[in-house]
Amino acid sequence: MKKLITAVLILALLLPAAALAVDGNSPFYGKWIGQKHGSTSNYSTILYYMELTKYTTSQYFVFYLHNGGPITSGSIGDQDIFSGNWEIINDHLSVPTSGISSIEVFYDKKTDTLYTKEWPVITFVRIP
């Protein structure tokens, strides 16, 4: 009986540690805001918001901002919003941006940023 209780106690202590080891602490997790490099066409600024969780869920927003001018005021244009599940591909993540498309983001240790290599080239910085 003592051996059974000891074994159960050891398992109870090891299971949470094993769950943390499987879960890990990836640098990809968190909230990110990014901006496309290059032309923004008719908009003053296009901002990309991405939230990645350890449960493989993601949220992706695109905000089209108009700064306005001397006569007009600033405004937000149409917004693209999509929620989905990210996937691991070799050394980077594939994050869905719509039902049929996704972006591949890479992590840069030196600057703690995410970036894309394909057009549109976007650099994401971590936000609190």
State the Cα–Cα distance between residues 50 and 34, nearest whole angstrom: 8
Helix (H) or strand (E) holding 87: strand 87-89
pLDDT 10s digits, 37-52: 776 556 678 889 999 9
Each residue's pLDDT tens digit, 23-32: 557 889 999 9
Q: Is the peptide bond prior to 120 cis by the omega test (within 30 degrees of 0)? A: yes
Q: pTM for this structure? A: 0.72
Domains, the chain, in order of start with CATH, read 26-127 (2.40.128)
Per-residue pLDDT of the chain (128 residues; tens, 9 = 90+): 555 455 444 545 544 433 333 355 788 999 999 988 776 556 678 889 999 999 889 999 998 887 777 777 777 777 888 999 999 998 899 999 998 999 999 999 999 999 999 877 899 999 98
Structure tokens at 78: 């149409």
First to last CA, the chain: 50
What is the Cα 113 distance to its own chain's centre? 11
In Å, how far from its chain's centre is CA 34? 10
Distance CA(43)–CA(98), nearest Å, equals: 21
Amino acid at 65: L
- Tally helices (H) and strands (E) across the chain: 1, 9
Give the pair of three-digit tokens for residue 19.
Answer: 């769950």
Partners of 47 in the β-ladder: 35, 63
